[in-house]
Amino acid sequence: MTATAPPVGEPDRTQPRNTPASPAAARLLRFLPAAVAALCGVLLYVSFPPRTLWWLALPAFAGLGWALRGRGWKAGLGLGYLFGLGFLLPLLVWTGVEVGPGPWLALAAIEAVFVALVGAGVAVVSRLPGWPLWAAALWTAGEAARARVPFEGFPWGKIAFGQADGLFLPLAAVGGTPVLGFAVVLCGFGLHEAVRAAVRARRTGRIRRSAAAAALLSVAVPVLGALAARPLVSAEAEDGTATVAVIQGNVPRAGLDFNAQRRAVLDYHARETERLAAEVEAGKADRPDFVLWPENSSDIDPFANADARAVIDRAARAIGAPISVGGVVERDGKLLNEQILWDPAKGPVDTYDKRQIQPFGEYLPLRSLIGAINDEWTSMVSQDFSRGTEPGVFTMAGAEVGLVTCYEAAFDWAVRSEVTDGAQLISVPSNNATFDRSEMTYQQLAMSRVRAVEHSRTVTVPVTSGVSAIIMPDGRTTQKTGMFVADSLVQEVPLRSSQTPATRLGVAPEIVLVLVAAGGLGWAVAAGVRGRRAGGV
């Protein structure tokens, strides 16, 4: 009788199994895949900033591949969830710095559901020829879903954001974060398949050429693709240069009440700008063409408060250059997180309203339900911010500066829209004072480095409390500040207007990879149905 392959998605019981030496060994083997999945999730977390261990993502996905391959979808669901928790629980711990563990645990538990679904899908496609391709595409599809739902999505923890120091970074210029992340995951799953093929060949003395080729290609293609993409990465000026000043004024205190002392944050940023102006006059610093302040650098509305307006006017006249000021503004009954272009002679001349606002931070979804659970949470966000509708590109001393406010840097569309709208340089004004000295600020800084390569633009990161930085279009950080200090960065930076393939293609690579994932899943399900029918004849 000829043995038939087990249906796709069902455990493979056709392979010989070694009988455990004892019941204890049997229990250990039963729980080993779960332990491996959870530990590989932790390994993936360790690959993220502030550490520069980007390469640990490869063994993390290799281990996940070992845990998932050949299993049923239900087992894949559970193992994927454990992997997701191992990754996201430590990665997102900063979300509970000021509000306690409840929101942090809830967020990690919800986001891990997406990883669980990917795990189920990977288990299903793991019997297909070239399964690392389909599995990596499924991971990308999971990230695409996570970046959109619920509540407009939460892309934090995209694999691409852990690769700012890595070999694969140039692929961001090819197809953005989806292609960069796909390459890393493909290489990780391919690494598992390569080890598996080598062990099988050593044990049996035979090499399955198709499996070996698939493993080799899964590892080699991402690496060779990254090397081939290097010419797309450049820090050369195309439209001249600009001398930019990034101001970090610091805050009176860390935490949710960082701006509880009226006008203190604004005064700190004005004082640091005036200090820089004095250094310029003394010949100790280059004169900037324009100045960038962080998000919330004006802790009171300068349109409604004459004293705030006077402080900003004085700072702009002292430095003699336009300033992008971050403020919280109330206009027409709407609360807006706004960047204001402040001219030293004319005052406010342009604005940009943040479009991707943060759920539970800048607005509260399901307010009545959450209030019934804990009214303290509703008091933290007493009034919802409104969304802006238009890209923000300020013309500052002849340079086109695109504004991407803090949380927006995690969203592909928000950054790309500024570049396609003409930005020659990107600024990511942020306020991380709420999160104290957590890893959040380093995770966000890595996002900005990836965005620099993705769109081949200088990226400046002015932050109220640090870490502020200047990043070249090739992803190098040339200057940065410490945390919770007043400081300024001044540098001549390149202006660029050409568009990378990633900028031109936009969401297209992600759509293609989602379709590849759907095709692989459909093939696996159809193969499983045929297998079950054949087994029942």
Tokens encoding 319: 């430095």
Task: Please name the residue that has the structure tokens 């479009």.
Answer: 355
pLDDT in tens, 280-339: 999 999 999 999 999 999 989 999 999 999 999 999 999 999 999 999 999 999 999 999
Residues (pLDDT < 50) of the chain are 1-5, 9-11, 13-18, 537
Closest CA relative to residue 321, chosen from 346, 289, 360? 289
* Cβ atoms of residues 59 and 191 within 8 Å: yes
The pLDDT assigned to 20 comes to 52
3-state secondary structure of 343: strand
Distance (Å, rounded) from C-alpha 484 to C-alpha 224? 42
Angle at 114 between CA 111 and CA 119, to 5 degrees: 130
Closest CA relative to residue 30, chosen from 39, 20, 38? 20
Distance (Å, rounded) from C-alpha 481 to C-alpha 468? 5
Number of C-alpha atoms within 13 angstroms, CB side, residue 177?
Answer: 30
Question: β-strands 425-427, 487-494: how paired?
Answer: unpaired
* Cβ atoms of residues 435 and 456 within 8 Å: no
DSSP designation for 206? -
The pLDDT assigned to 210 comes to 81
* Cβ atoms of residues 504 and 456 within 8 Å: no
The pLDDT assigned to 17 comes to 46
pLDDT in tens, 84-117: 999 999 999 998 887 778 889 999 999 999 999 9
Question: β-strands 399-403, 393-396: how paired?
Answer: antiparallel
The pLDDT assigned to 490 comes to 98
Tokens encoding 172: 């961001």
Distance (Å, rounded) from C-alpha 432 to C-alpha 305? 25
* Cβ atoms of residues 81 and 112 within 8 Å: yes
What pTM does this model have?
0.91
Burial bucket for residue 484 (CB in 10 Å: 0-12, 13-18, 19+): middle
Residue 366, Ramachandran bin (φ over 0: left; ψ between -120 and 50: alpha; else beta)? left
Tokens encoding 290: 């324009």
Distance (Å, rounded) from C-alpha 455 to C-alpha 448? 11
3-state secondary structure of 479: strand
Distance (Å, rounded) from C-alpha 75 to C-alpha 262? 55
Distance (Å, rounded) from C-alpha 319 to C-alpha 307? 19
- 10 Å Cβ neighbour count for 124? 28
Distance (Å, rounded) from C-alpha 494 to C-alpha 476? 13
Rounded to a whole number, what is the distance in angstroms from the first to the last CA of the chain?
Answer: 13
Radius of gyration (C-alpha) of the chain in whole angstroms: 26
Distance (Å, rounded) from C-alpha 472 to C-alpha 50? 19
User: In degrees to the nearest 10, what's the CA dihedral of 53, 143, 370, 301?
Assistant: 70
Distance (Å, rounded) from C-alpha 198 to C-alpha 90? 34
The pLDDT assigned to 1 comes to 38
For the chain, helix (H) and strand (E) counts, in that order, are: 15, 12
The pLDDT assigned to 182 comes to 98
Which positions are annotated as active-site residues? 295, 354, 406
Closest CA relative to residue 275, chosen from 294, 305, 267, 302? 267
The pLDDT assigned to 478 comes to 98
**CA max distance for the chain:** 92
H/E element, 30: helix 23-46
Helices (H), 421-507: 440-455, 501-505
DSSP designation for 385? B
The pLDDT assigned to 3 comes to 42
Residues, the chain: 537
3-state secondary structure of 478: strand
- 10 Å Cβ neighbour count for 150? 11
The pLDDT assigned to 527 comes to 86
Distance (Å, rounded) from C-alpha 267 to C-alpha 298? 8
Distance (Å, rounded) from C-alpha 107 to C-alpha 485? 31
Distance (Å, rounded) from C-alpha 509 to C-alpha 502? 8
Which residue type is seen at 350? Answer: D
H/E element, 519: helix 508-536
